[in-house]
Amino acid sequence: MSARQQPRTAAAVFDALGTDYEEAFAGSAAHRASLEQLLEVLPPHGRVLDIGSGTGRPTALTLSGAGHAVLGVDVSPVMVDIASRQVPGAEFRCADIRELPLEEGGFDAVCMYFALLQMSREEQAEVLHLAARVLRSGGHLAVATVPLDVEGVSGTFMGQPVEVTSFGENEFTALVEKAGFTVQSRESSMFVPALPAAVPEPQMFLLARRR
């Protein structure tokens, strides 16, 4: 592999993509359905942590538009800059979620849509445990991933060299349960990003409750 093909960090990948990511992926009906499900169970004026908040659309925009206080955290400065402009009603911070001090039990919900795929399996488990710690008892987790049994697979994502790690559907669901959650719904579907020559990719959305 030449130096130019070395997999990039999540920050470098999403700094390069910016709003191109939103244009390709924000049209997911399953993502919007997951947000609708979350809105049904959130208390009024809830506190929501959005891990890997990207451009802020659709997640932070939908939740803050419904009156919730959203803190979005993203490791990409470009994504945080875009999200801050697109969703002025939410707060965004640029940080690796594993390094940001957060109040334990301080949130009613955590969203984590497609934010884990560039982490090792151990790191994904660690971030799910982090989500459980920052949620109040009975708090809600909305999490989505691409459910494939792959570990450290090199590839290209929207022209960016990446290394991807994930789990199959049952294994990811078990990981969420092991982190301290009861999974309440699981929706799997295929999604075609709005990209030239795009192929359908699997997506899985879980809604879970902290035990």
Task: Determine how β-strand 135-145 pairs with β-strand 201-210.
Answer: antiparallel
Q: Which two tokens stand for residue 16?
A: 């390069």
Q: How far is the CB of 134 from ligand SAM (least distance, A)?
A: 13
| Residue 115 binding ligand SAM, by CB under 6 A | yes
| Residue 201 binding ligand SAM, by CB under 6 A | no
| Residue 14 binding ligand SAM, by CB under 6 A | yes
Q: Which of 52, 139, 147, 180 binds ligand SAM (CB under 6 A)?
A: 52
Interface region with ligand SAM, contact rule CB under 6 A, candidates 36-44, 71-79, 164-172, 192-200: 71-79
Q: Which of 114, 168, 186, 193 binds ligand SAM (CB under 6 A)?
A: 114
| Residue 72 binding ligand SAM, by CB under 6 A | no
Q: What is the dihedral of CA 175, 176, 182, 188, to 10 degrees?
A: -100
CA dist 141 and 49 (Å) reads 10
Residue 29: in which H helix or E strand, if any?
Answer: helix 29-41
Q: Which is nearer to ligand SAM, 44 or 99 (CB)?
A: 99
> Among candidates 104, 157, 123, which has minimal Cα distance to 112?
123
> Among candidates 130, 65, 82, which has minimal Cα distance to 102?
130
| Residue 97 binding ligand SAM, by CB under 6 A | yes
| Residue 75 binding ligand SAM, by CB under 6 A | yes
Q: How far is the CB of 119 from ligand SAM (least distance, A)?
A: 7
Task: Determine how β-strand 201-210 pairs with β-strand 160-164.
Answer: unpaired
Q: What are phi and psi of 103, to 5 degrees?
A: -65, 130
> Among candidates 185, 111, 116, which has minimal Cα distance to 141?
111
What's the chain's length in residues? 211
Q: How far is the CB of 76 from ligand SAM (least distance, A)?
A: 4
> Among candidates 141, 168, 66, which has minimal Cα distance to 58?
66
Number of residues located near ligand SAM, criterion CB under 6 A: 20
Q: Which is nearer to ligand SAM, 17 or 42 (CB)?
A: 17
| Residue 54 binding ligand SAM, by CB under 6 A | yes
| Residue 35 binding ligand SAM, by CB under 6 A | no
Residues in contact with ligand SAM by CB under 6 A are 10-11, 14, 25, 52-54, 59, 73-76, 79, 96-98, 113-115, 118
